[in-house]
Structure 1
Amino acid sequence: MIQAYENKTAKRISKPDLSVLIPYYNDDPSALLAALHTQYDHTHNVEILLYDDGTQDEDINTKLRQIADTVDQPTRLFFATTNTGRSAARNYLMGEARAPWVLFLDADMRPLHPDFLTRYLSEIKSGHSDIIFGGFRVADTADTPATELHRALSLQSDCLDAATREQSGPQYVCTSNLCVRKSVLDAEPFDITFKGWGWEDSEWAARAVTKYRLKHLENAALHMGLENTETLLARFRDSADNYVQFTKKHPDLAQSLTLFTLSQRLKKIPGQKTMRPILAFLVRNPLGVIPMKLRVFALKMWRASWYAGAL
């Protein structure tokens, strides 16, 4: 069951130019919603849609209604009673979007530039792209020591400028800050067979760029929701089945990536899984003496070890 709510402006405007889509689960997207509202002016025909994927936190949802009611920007809210997963949530929002273009933002992102929406609208107007990825950044310092590992990993692997991302095509595309022509998603929806965290956006990007034009734009969003060490260990462990599914659907791309090569090498080592407790110890750094570069390396080896076991 899904309950819907819309502010007064949403009832009046039926054909926006861009729909911003924000799924959330166990997150509070109110700060993102407020930040987007500060960028709105009446020259931007932009609507915002949020989808609660079964959290059912009435405090958060009440706050979102209150924010929506204080602005003129068209804002619609959808509250699901059960969790159906990231891909299904995105597909639902896409089905509700009224604009020919949609912008997916994770609930823990924040626009980095004051003209964040304008940059996307300008690129859309140019007509040169079907898929636009803006990239993301992390804060200069972590909120807590527990999230510093995630910040270091992101800086090393994910926080890349548009020129660097452009060289790798779909490899660095993710749905945390992704603008797409709606007709592309109608033809190539997210694969709901991916369960839990990981690889569903990579699979979609690899599939979509074979038919549509991809643009890497310099329009980053700030990733505020850095995870703690235990969450990272669990996510990398539990995403092994999704990774295998990705490699089967896109073997050429998968085999061109360092992760695949490393996982295949580990797979050939008898008893390689016995090193996982050592890797986890290095990642957790219980004594506080392990250099960050070694912790990041151990985390990547931890992921490769679990993927090797699943391949």
Structure 2
Amino acid sequence: MISVLIASYNISVVNLIEELQLQLNKANVIFEIICLDDASNSEKNIENNKINKLPFCSFEILKNNIGRSAIRNLLATKASYDWLLFLDADVLPTSPKFISNYIKEIENNHYSVFLGGIKYRDFDDKNLLRWRFGKRSEEVSVSIRNQDSYKYFFTANFLIEKDFFNGIKFNEEIVDYGYEDLLFSKEIEKNKVKIKHIENEVFHLGIDENIDFIKKTKKAISNLNFLISKKLIEKQDTNLSQLYFKLKPYGVLSVLSVFSSFFENVANKSSSVTFYNLFRITYLHQVIKNSQ
């Protein structure tokens, strides 16, 4: 009935898969859990190989790194069942009813796509930029998410009908990090298929240190510029690019971009979301300018 699909890279997924298997067994449904590691060559895969001893679960290490979009498509080709539950490897269900909540939606609603949402645990060290940004931008109530269902699409936790997924898939032109969830959401919208957001969140556990988060941000912004230049997304499709093109005619970004490294350093040292956002928009300006 349901195939749980997890792409991993240099991370232990044993706890996640054990929890999922426990819930799936309690829900008394036919299932499989498939996890693929994207050629990380990580020592953590020694532990991950234990997954192959769990009933209806499999773990495999790819020989070559194929990227975030292609690995999700590959997972779908290996799936046996009609519903695909995609989860990031660094999450954990917030509720022991996580699986049963999704099963109820399948049985009671005529949707092809369900989004469970993301939460962040409260912990003592709140001085991590990634945690602060995620709490503000990604931990969104189900009522707000359903007001703009395509905008709040996150690939960390979603359920989709296999037949519909096979008709759109992830765009494998997108190899680098960033905005593949947006591109996939736009494909859903183009097909005029509605997304139902539900209160069925996962905790995002993989909180990057500030310097690593900023490095990923730079990759994502470069990818954003690529997607806009290739007309795969529109300028107004992200808050960042929409603001950039509003401000561009006034020349303010040319002035602010001089301070881009300063904004980056302050964001890194202080975990300030304000300075992080100033860094993002000035870095986007530099990327676009250098690509012209």
For residue 179 of structure 1, the aligned residue among 159, 179, 184 is: 159
Match in the other structure for 1:83: 65
Match in the other structure for 1:264: 245
AA in 2 matched with 1:133: L
Match in the other structure for 2:201: 220
1:140 aligns with 2:122: yes
1:305 aligns with 2:282: yes
Q: CA deviation at 1:235?
A: 1.4
What runs of 5+ residues in structure 1 fail to find an aligned partner?
1-16
Distance of 1:250 and 1:281 partners within structure 2: 30
CA RMSD of aligned residues (A): 1.9
Match in the other structure for 2:257: 273
Q: CA deviation at 1:244?
A: 2.3
Q: CA deviation at 1:257?
A: 4.3
Distance of 1:307 and 1:130 partners within structure 2: 35
1:45 aligns with 2:30: yes
Distance of 2:104 and 2:52 partners within structure 1: 25
State the SS of the aligned residue for 1:226: coil
Q: CA deviation at 1:209?
A: 2.2
Match in the other structure for 1:9: none
The answer to whether the 8 Å contact 2:82/2:163 transfers is yes
AA in 1 matched with 2:287: A
Q: CA deviation at 1:81?
A: 1.7
For residue 175 of structure 2, the aligned residue among 195, 203, 212 is: 195
State the SS of the aligned residue for 2:85: strand
AA in 1 matched with 2:212: T
Deviation track 1:137-161 (CA, whole Å, cap 9, x = no partner) reads 011116x566x22111111111011
AA in 2 matched with 1:238: K
Q: CA deviation at 1:62?
A: 3.6
Percent pairwise identity = 24
The answer to whether the 8 Å contact 1:56/1:80 transfers is no
The answer to whether the 8 Å contact 1:56/1:81 transfers is no
What runs of 5+ residues in structure 2 fail to find an aligned partner?
none
**May I ask how many residue pairs the two structures share in their alignment?**
281
Distance of 1:259 and 1:94 partners within structure 2: 31
Match in the other structure for 2:48: 64
Match in the other structure for 2:85: 103
AA in 2 matched with 1:54: A
The answer to whether the 8 Å contact 2:4/2:32 transfers is yes
* Residues 256 and 37 of structure 1, relative CA distance in 2, 3 Å threshold: closer
The answer to whether the 8 Å contact 1:150/1:232 transfers is yes
AA in 1 matched with 2:110: H
For residue 239 of structure 1, the aligned residue among 220, 243, 252 is: 220
* Residues 236 and 62 of structure 1, relative CA distance in 2, 3 Å threshold: closer
The answer to whether the 8 Å contact 1:266/1:304 transfers is no
Q: Which runs of 4+ in 1 moved over 6 A?
A: none
Structure 1 length normalisation: TM-score?
0.84
Distance of 1:197 and 1:168 partners within structure 2: 24
AA in 2 matched with 1:173: F
Q: CA deviation at 1:35?
A: 1.6
Q: CA deviation at 1:164?
A: 0.8
Distance of 1:33 and 1:60 partners within structure 2: 14
Deviation track 1:38-67 (CA, whole Å, cap 9, x = no partner) reads 21326121210000100133x533423324
Match in the other structure for 1:3: none
Match in the other structure for 1:24: 8
Deviates more, 1:126-135 or 1:221-230: 126-135
AA in 1 matched with 2:61: F
